[in-house]
């Protein structure tokens, strides 16, 4: 059986990566109080919420609410990571602590923004928030290597999501565009760490290819547990800049290229087969994307 755990020989390099992460994240450290339009806030008891107070288009509200409902599940992501890396490299456990502290601001920022700007019915949002966290999150991946592959893709997808939605949001509210770009910067650093952990493993032992395919081919955002996820993603794809086309160009294509799957040469036949399967999957998705683009013209 090809190993699915992280490699202890890489520990010194991963320590360097973590130190680098801390330096870069200290440079962009921020508090969520800095990014909110507090002067718009009003007491809900004195001025109850009413649909007429909403100024953002529904697609942007859906995008922000969906991002929020993904971020609120942080307790479950952390507990999954903590369980997965039990007994694995201690440097990863350190990173998960730092990562959790950084992620912990994200849902606060998005939720407070939605409440202050009265973009959503606060009671409905409260219900959705509670229901989502109560549902929790249980991924298909339980081994350290696969989990790192998943988190690499998830951080990249989240970064792209925030950057893309911010372009649309800017047309309606510059504060919103700015706070989304702030979140994207955090996600960029998270992505850089996870993706390089995987890259180092593939360079040291190309047989790790064996464990890439299942995650790459079945990737789904962790938000899939929230109510109406499919409908939400369809609206966001149409009107807020993040859909299957962007996923292919800005996530899947980028990661396959970065990990240089094309040029890896695993020794184990099953790992080589897995590598070719990924390349086939990538080529098929590319054809689907091109067909889709032609239809849109």
Residues forming the site for Fe ion (CB under 5 A): 103, 106, 155, 187, 190
Handedness of CA 194, 197, 203, 206 (dihedral sign): negative
Nearer to Fe ion, 106 or 275 (CB): 106
- The two tokens of residue 138 are 């249980």
- Smallest gap from Cβ 188 to Fe ion, in A, equals 9
Nearer to Fe ion, 194 or 210 (CB): 194
HEC per residue, 240-253: CCCCHHHHHHHHHH
| Inter-CA distances, 257 with 40, 249, 264, 282, Å | 44, 11, 11, 10
Nearer to Fe ion, 94 or 277 (CB): 94
Pair 208, 143: CB distance under 8 Å: no
- Smallest gap from Cβ 181 to Fe ion, in A, equals 13
User: Rounded to whole angstroms, how far apart are CA atoms 268 and 22?
Assistant: 37
Neighbours of 59 (CB within 10 A): 18
Nearer to Fe ion, 6 or 153 (CB): 153
- Smallest gap from Cβ 189 to Fe ion, in A, equals 8
Handedness of CA 111, 112, 115, 117 (dihedral sign): negative
Nearer to Fe ion, 36 or 278 (CB): 36
Pair 17, 157: CB distance under 8 Å: no
- Smallest gap from Cβ 90 to Fe ion, in A, equals 21
- Smallest gap from Cβ 104 to Fe ion, in A, equals 9
Nearer to Fe ion, 111 or 187 (CB): 187
Residue 143: phi and psi, rounded to 5, are -105, 155
- Smallest gap from Cβ 210 to Fe ion, in A, equals 27
């Amino acid at each position: 059986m090809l190993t699915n755990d992280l490699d202890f020989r890489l520990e010194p390099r991963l320590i360097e990566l973590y130190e680098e992460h801390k330096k870069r994240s200290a440079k962009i450290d921020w508090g969520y109080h800095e990014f909110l339009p507090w002067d718009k806030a009003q007491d809900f008891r004195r001025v109850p919420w009413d649909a007429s107070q909403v100024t953002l288009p529904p697609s942007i509200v859906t995008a922000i609410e969906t991002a929020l409902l993904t971020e609120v599940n942080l307790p479950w992501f952390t507990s999954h990571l903590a369980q997965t890396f039990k007994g694995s490299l201690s440097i990863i456990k350190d990173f998960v602590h730092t990562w959790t502290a950084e992620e912990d601001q994200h849902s606060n920022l998005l939720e407070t923004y939605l409440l202050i700007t009265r973009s959503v019915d606060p009671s409905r949002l409260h219900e959705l928030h509670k229901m989502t966290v109560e549902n929790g999150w249980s991924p298909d991946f339980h081994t350290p290597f696969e989990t790192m592959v998943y988190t690499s893709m998830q951080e990249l997808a989240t970064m792209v999501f925030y950057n893309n939605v911010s372009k649309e949001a800017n047309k309606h509210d510059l504060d919103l565009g700015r706070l989304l770009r702030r979140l994207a910067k955090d996600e960029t650093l998270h992505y850089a760490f996870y993706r390089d952990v995987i890259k180092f493993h593939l360079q040291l032992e190309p047989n790790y290819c064996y464990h890439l395919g299942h995650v790459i081919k079945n990737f789904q955002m962790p938000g899939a547990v929230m109510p109406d996820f499919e409908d939400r993603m369809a609206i966001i794809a149409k009107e807020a800049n993040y859909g299957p086309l962007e996923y292919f160009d800005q996530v899947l294509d980028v990661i396959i290229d970065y990990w240089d799957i094309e040029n890896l040469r695993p020794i184990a036949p099953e790992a080589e087969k897995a590598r070719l399967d990924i390349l086939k999957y990538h080529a098929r998705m590319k054809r689907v994307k091109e067909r889709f683009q032609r239809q849109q013209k």
